[in-house]
Amino acid sequence: MTLPTAILGAGMMGTAIAAAHLRCGLPVILYDLSETALQTAPQRVADELRLQNLPFSSTLLTCTGTLDDLADSPIVIETITEKLKAKQKLYQKFTADRKPTGMLLTNTSTISISSLAQHLSPDWQHRFCGLHFFHPVRQRSLVEIVAGQQTERAVIEAAKEHAGRIDKQFIEVRDSPGFLVNRILNPYLSSALSLLEQRVDLEQIEHTALRFGMKMGPFRIMDEIGLDVVLHAGWVLHKAFPDRTPQSPILLRLIDQGKLGRKTGQGFMRYVQQASWEGEGVPDPQFAATVPSEVRISAPEMIRRLFMPMYEEAVRCYEEGIISDLATADRASIEALGFPADKGGIITWGDST
């Protein structure tokens, strides 16, 4: 009998990753401290599968609020909030008095694997690595696999095998804040926020990105991820790269107003449907009134300002040894970020430009 994969956290990513396992016939045990999250998790997993025209088998999913129920799981994937201390606190609870017979993987999008592993015992540090999924999990074929300083090579190979079992391709990247994909996503989002602060029209920015060929505009991406999550990830990257990761007052203001994106029905845009990734956002007159658009720039200039910083960051990642070849950046930009495939990827496009 196949032992279940354990997932720590029954939020948006946790349920999407659970669905990715169930669609391949792999059992899952889903942990969360919130009783509400556990009660609603089966329906949210079923909704994820419904969007893929797949049935939901309740016999493959177990929900629990007790960490001891995960003791026999050979693979444990943590998916909770993007906060260093919160993740470390959960790891300490999970590993306390527990021998490392399996692997502990984290879905962190920006926090260094070695930093997360600091308070783990040496035995657990050897069996800890990053397995980073992308939004929306059902549409993104790629995962990032990241080794910490103490991660055993056998654990990385086992993580690759597990990715294959759930029909995911992988790239292996060196440990660094943001790894590869969020290192090159961040300039796209930061550039869009900078344009907005300069009073360029939000809809013009979105439409230009879509006409360029992106699967999603920058503000829709932020609304789907959740503005609070974008902020926490931005703090990590700002600490590591302060000169290239400015803090946006518009983003902070929306969060202060409780407008966190689709999950609250309102962010940069309004959303009738709060199920993630369903239905386009519509313009928010309230937002437009507080951030008036007074400047229009040409499409070629906007494209340069949105995408050239992504290209430059991808080159930095190669120069720093985060990736071993530039083709990996092209592949990641297409498969993880929805960059237009007909342009060859961010490096191919940037070189031709």
> What are the CB-based long-range contacts (under 8 Å, 24+) for 214-220?
214/337, 214/338, 214/339, 214/340, 215/338, 216/338, 217/192, 218/188, 218/189, 218/191, 218/192, 218/193, 218/306, 219/192, 219/267, 219/268, 219/269, 219/281, 220/268, 220/269, 220/280, 220/281
The one-character DSSP state at 3 is P
C-alpha–C-alpha distance, residues 295 and 195, integer Å: 9
List Cβ<8 Å contacts ≥24 apart for 202-210.
Answer: 202/268, 202/283, 202/287, 202/288, 202/291, 202/293, 203/283, 204/293, 204/296, 204/302, 205/302, 205/306, 208/299, 208/302, 208/303, 208/306, 209/306
Catalytic option among 21, 119, 126, 132: 132
Q: Please say if 132 is a catalytic residue.
A: yes
Please identify every residue annotated as catalytic. 132
